[in-house]
Structure 1
Amino acid sequence: FKIDEHGLVAAAERDGKPAVWVSCADVERQPEEGSQVFWANPGTPLKTVMLAMHRSQTAPVALFDEGSRFVGAIGIRDVLSAVLRR
Structure 2
Amino acid sequence: MTQMTRHAQVRTQQRSIPPMLIDILLQFGESEPAGDGATKVFFNKTSRKQFKAYAGPLARILEEYLDVYVVVNKADQVITTAHRTERIRRH
Higher strand share: 1
- Whether these two folds match at TM > 0.5 is no
Instruction: Give the TM bin, normalised by the shorter chain.
Output: 0.3 to 0.5
Q: TM-score, normalised by structure 1?
A: 0.35
